[in-house]
Amino acid sequence: MQYRELAVPGAFEITPKQFGDPRGVFLEWFKAAAFEEALGHPLDLQQANCSVSSAGVLRGIHFADVPPGQAKYVTCAKGAVLDVVVDIRVGSPTFGRWDSVLLDDTDRRAIYLGEGLGHAFMALEDGSTVMYMCSTGYNPGREHGVHPLDPAIGIDWPTTARDGSPLSPLLSEKDEAAPTLDEAAAQGLLPTAEAVDEYVRSLRR
């Protein structure tokens, strides 16, 4: 299992070792000891979610108030998605930067997004099934969004599906109504880099 930090600090791509034979494939998509060695603190698992999406469905950019925020460890069990992390931490040197990992049922990679980061993904195939473990449970009063098509962020979303057909982003009404990054900052919705750093340090004690 290999960990690679992304261009947004606090986010990692995880590549598992797969063991295949004529019967199929086995892999470890999460291992607590490897996670703690790479990040310096454990993942406190409080909730596990499953999301199934049609090609073109775009979910996010979602985030939660810090503390405690909501860290996510995400993989795609079936199909393919482009998974994106956005630095929404006010005061961060990489504020507004994004990076992405292709999650699919071939390489079976995962992505970890620490507290205070924005998360979004687009499905590249019908029935794409995303599984993600969360450090906190769902709390609608503490969860927010930024519009995933905000040109100031400029995420390069795919325009072609896995089968080569054209893709058009399909958003929920809630995500469609989400503020831009600048609007969210002006409304005081975004976490600060200072608060996130302080909370992550507390996890290492």
Is 199 annotated as catalytic?
Answer: no
d(CA 115, CA 89): 10
Is 112 among the residues known to form the active site? Answer: no
DSSP secondary structure string for all residues of 60-83: EEEEE-TTT---EEEEEEESEEEE
Going by C-alpha positions, the residue among 164, 140, 176 that lies closest to residue 57 is: 176
Q: Is 105 exposed, middle or buried (0-12, 13-18, 19+ CB in 10 A)?
A: middle
Annotated catalytic residue: which of 62, 119, 144, 147?
Answer: 62
Q: How far apart are CA 172 and CA 55, in angstroms?
A: 14
> Of the listed 73, 112, 132, 144, which one is catalytic?
132
Pairing mode of beta strands 143-145, 58-64: antiparallel
Active site residues: 62, 132
